[in-house]
Amino acid sequence: MSASTPGERHAIDAAHGFVAAHVKPNAQSWDRGLADSGSVLREAARAGLLGLEVPVEQGGQGLSFGCKRRVAEILAAADFGLAMSVINTHNVANHLARSAAPELTRHVLPALLSGERTGCTALTEPGAGSDFSAITTLARRAGDEWLIDGRKAWIVNATHADVVVVYAQTAPGSGARGIAAFVVDGSRSGFVRDPRSDSTAAPGIDAGGFQLQAYRARADELLHPPGEAFKAALASINGARTYVAAMCCGMVEECLRVASAYGAVRHSFGKPLHEHQGWRWSLADAAIELEAARLLVDAAASRIDSGSDAQAAAARAKVFATRMAGRHVAALMHAMGAEGLREHHPFLRHLAAAQVATLVDGSTEMLLERVARGLRRP
Ligand SMILES: Cc1cc2nc3c(=O)[nH]c(=O)nc-3n(C[C@H](O)[C@H](O)[C@H](O)COP(=O)(O)OP(=O)(O)OC[C@H]3O[C@@H](n4cnc5c(N)ncnc54)[C@H](O)[C@@H]3O)c2cc1C
């Protein structure tokens, strides 16, 4: 996909510049979450990456989803965790710009766009992941306010974010119909952040959890009322699935680049690795499937930009691209021999990220079900 407008070309150049200056030199050291997420997100803001899809009249750039998807791919090629962190903050800004009460938007949006505040979106709980309608975080009306209690887990940016979109149940037993969404302030009393955990095998991906303990949300902090929030979450999920698929393409492209460069200089049996047919075929396999994944991502992205139904297209793209990344990051690492294990190369980080990509925003099994539903005969 090539950027088509000057604004989009500028955003893509800015993403490349941001990666070269702030991500590539540091990604290796982000092996337990972004060490100083504040400063790197402010740099992302300076590059304009936190307002890509946010309407111009709200301080953003009003660019297409296809452009965001391309930026996500560029960022993830260097570091998936950083890409998720930037895109999740961007998504909260865009969500608020389009759905929050005007006064709340005026108050919060500028700080999100400048990277002074960071954002996250919290659906998952310790007891409910794939089955989103089973969440038990409870929001009760208390006069003009809402009182929220519960716990969220595995949330990108939760270790530092203070503009938190929280999905909560308002009528236990009512499933999706009772779910509402709130804008929660991570600096307010009743918001208790979990300590940062470094005990997962997802290096550099800044995911964490928090508790809400009698947290008071004002009436204007209700982002989507009961009955609307589940639909709102589903409305944005096709975009998320598509950009995660694009991120997988970015990671494989980078691994392919590194392996190909190594194959030109590393010799075995008197010639460069590239000159061994058995060696270069693993790179050819990766290149072919990368291209196929990109075509599926392009198809889903253009449906999103044209406002068509993208459910099946996004599911197809994510299932194919995440599996493609799992297979080919591992194969390309193998093609490097022992050298592939060195931490200055991206293979180990990208391998863990490819596994995370199979879970976030709909696991492979959920998406296969989505595709299968479209195959049923009437
Ligand atoms: C690094 C990271 C970042 C994340 N960031 C966020 C975030 O920002 N916000 C957020 O809300 N969540 C986030 N998540 C959570 C993610 O969305 C969940 O991991 C995902 O929804 C799967 O839920 P689970 O892990 O609880 O697995 P479970 O739901 O417990 O499922 C376990 C396994 O069983 C499979 N399975 C479940 N039900 C079925 C079924 N009916 N049929 C067949 N197979 C099934 C699943 O596919 C999975 O393989 C993140 C997760 C990770 C790892």
122 Cβ inside 6 Å of ligand 1: yes
Q: Under CATH, which number does the domain 6-117 receive?
A: 1.10.540.10
**Averaged pLDDT, 85-104:** 97
Residues 297, 239, 103: CA angle, nearest 5 degrees: 155
Q: Give the distance (Å) from ligand 1 centre to CA of residue 152.
A: 13
Measured from the Cβ of residue 261, the count of other Cβ atoms closer than 10 Å reads: 11
Give me 119's structure tokens: 């954002």
Question: Do the domains 230-373 and 6-117 match in fold?
Answer: no
pLDDT in tens, 107-122: 999 999 999 999 999 9
Mean pLDDT rounded to a whole number for the chain: 94
pTM of the predicted protein model: 0.96
Q: How confident is the model at residue 364 (pLDDT cuts 50, 70, 90)?
A: very high
Q: Give the distance (Å) from ligand 1 centre to CA of residue 195.
A: 21
Q: How confident is the model at residue 195 (pLDDT cuts 50, 70, 90)?
A: confident
Q: What is the pLDDT of residue 197?
A: 72
pLDDT in tens, 324-351: 999 999 999 999 999 999 989 999 999 9
Q: Using CA positions, which residue lies closest to atom 38 of ligand 1?
A: 130
Q: Which residue has the tokens 């953003």?
A: 60
Distances (CA, A) of 110 to 41, 43, 51, 59, 116: 14, 15, 10, 7, 9
Q: Using CA positions, which residue lies closest to atom 26 of ligand 1?
A: 129
Q: What is the pLDDT of residue 39?
A: 87
- Domain-by-domain residue ranges, the chain? 6-117, 120-226, 230-373
Pocket test residue of 156, 360, 370 for ligand 1, highest count of atoms within 8 A of CB: 360
Q: What is the pLDDT of residue 24?
A: 92
Could you tell me how many residues make up the chain? 378
Q: Using CA positions, which residue lies closest to atom 32 of ligand 1?
A: 130
Give me 328's structure tokens: 């080919």
Q: What residues have CB less than 8 Å from 32, skipping those under 6 apart?
A: 196, 198, 203, 204
**Averaged pLDDT, 78-95:** 96
**Measured distance CA(76)–CA(246) in Å, rounded:** 9
β-pairing verdict for 271-272 and 145-156: unpaired
Give me 245's structure tokens: 């698929």
Percent of the chain with pLDDT over 70: 95
169 Cβ inside 6 Å of ligand 1: no
pLDDT in tens, 301-325: 999 999 999 999 999 999 999 999 9
Topology (CATH) of 230-373? Butyryl-CoA Dehydrogenase, subunit A; domain 3 (1.20.140)
Q: Using CA positions, which residue lies closest to atom 53 of ligand 1?
A: 356
Helix-helix angle 6-18:65-78, to 10 degrees: 20
pLDDT at 3 over 60: no
Topology (CATH) of 120-226? Butyryl-CoA Dehydrogenase, subunit A; domain 2 (2.40.110)
86 Cβ inside 6 Å of ligand 1: no
Q: Give the distance (Å) from ligand 1 centre to CA of residue 154.
A: 9
For residue 19, the surrounding DSSP H or E stretch is none
**Averaged pLDDT, 174-196:** 96
Q: What is the pLDDT of residue 114?
A: 96
Nearest Cα neighbor of 351 from 212, 251, 273, 258 is: 251
Q: What is the pLDDT of residue 198?
A: 63
Q: Using CA positions, which residue lies closest to atom 43 of ligand 1?
A: 365
pLDDT at 22 over 90: yes
pLDDT in tens, 245-298: 999 999 999 999 999 999 999 999 999 999 999 999 999 999 999 999 999 999
pLDDT in tens, 62-85: 999 999 999 999 999 999 999 999
Q: What is the pLDDT of residue 378?
A: 65
- The DSSP bridge partners found for residue 268 are 271
244 Cβ inside 6 Å of ligand 1: no
Question: 218 with 45: CB under 8 angstroms?
Answer: no
155 Cβ inside 6 Å of ligand 1: yes
pLDDT at 30 over 90: no
**Secondary structure (3-state) at 17:** helix
**Averaged pLDDT, 4-13:** 94
Distances (CA, A) of 118 to 14, 114, 202, 211: 20, 9, 21, 18
**Of all atoms in ligand 1, which is nearest to the CA of residue 128?**
26
Q: What is the pLDDT of residue 4?
A: 79
**Of all atoms in ligand 1, which is nearest to the CA of residue 202?**
1
**Of all atoms in ligand 1, which is nearest to the CA of residue 122?**
11
322 Cβ inside 6 Å of ligand 1: no
309 Cβ inside 6 Å of ligand 1: no
Residues 228, 85, 101: CA angle, nearest 5 degrees: 35
205 Cβ inside 6 Å of ligand 1: yes
